[in-house]
Amino acid sequence: MQKNLRAKILLYIMAIAILVYSLFPIYWIVVSPLRGIEHFFTDSTKLWPTAFDLQYFKNIINQTNFPIYYVNSFVVAGSSTFVTIVLSTLMAYVLTRFSFIGRSLLLNTMLVGYMLPPMLLAIPLLGLFITLGIDDTIPALIISHIAITLPFGVWMLVSFFKTIPFDLEESSWVDGASRLQSIIRVIFPLMLPGVISVGVFSFIVSFTDYVFGLMIVSSEGNKTIPVGLATIKESTSLQRGELLAGAALIAVPMVVLFSFVTRYFIKGLTAGAVKG
């Protein structure tokens, strides 16, 4: 009894230590710019600021194009996530429910594409976009992000489709549902953890991307937050307080988003890895 209690206490201590280690950098990014201009350096060693000031946040919002970068990031991330979820669901359905020549080769090829460094994909994609006349556009950046997120989405959802009995679809067909209605009404609710996992992964990858944002777009009105922050650092006189404020505005949405879907995300990753 006493031995089990000690083991539980040790487990909780380790869990708390890992939690603090993981969240402390995000906490420091958020708290540092809140110290304000007067206390930014004098309170730099204190865990809790003696005063709160939003001046750094006001500076980066009012003196730069940060709001444009912010909107662009959400548009690109939201669009690429939506397209990835739709296409990966349909492609995973085809790969698991139909037999055709080259099915395994297609899936393995997508996995190889996912393993390639983004820079290797960015260069040929840029050449293709220039040929099509859509370089330096938001749609081109969305397509670039889908090239990274779609293979992971297909791989994840293929594992989920394999765990869903085919009899469920046949029963819905007998009741008069079409194949598409069967996917939406019967299969999709059962795959919700996997879909959420794919969505979270796609959104975070797209929202925080730097390589494609740097290579594909160049005009000020099309830049996203990671590239925009780098531009602000190089072309303005703003100090690191403003840059930390911008970083905080990036980190907070990611933490909030992940906190709402953590349960589904872990369930999705576990089911996809074990049952697939």
pTM of the entire predicted model? 0.78
Contact by Cβ (8 Å): 50, 43:
yes
Q: pLDDT tier at 265 (50, 70, 90 boundaries)?
A: low
Instruction: Please say if the pLDDT value at position 113 is more than 70.
Output: no
In this predicted model, which residue has the larger pLDDT, 271 or 2?
2
Domain with CATH 1.10.3720.10 in the chain: 64-274
What burial letters (b/e) apply to 73-98, b meaning 16+ CB within 10 Å? bbebbbbbbebbbeebbebbbebbee
Residue 45: the pLDDT is 65
Contact by Cβ (8 Å): 189, 67:
no
Residue 238: the pLDDT is 62
d(CA 62, CA 64): 6
Cα of first residue to Cα of last residue in the chain, in angstroms, is 39
Residue-wise pLDDT tens digits, 122-133: 888 888 899 888
- CATH value of 64-274 in 3.40.718.10, 1.10.3720.10, 1.10.10.10, 3.30.365.10: 1.10.3720.10
Instruction: Give the mean pLDDT of 75-97.
Output: 89
In this predicted model, which residue has the larger pLDDT, 81 or 60?
81
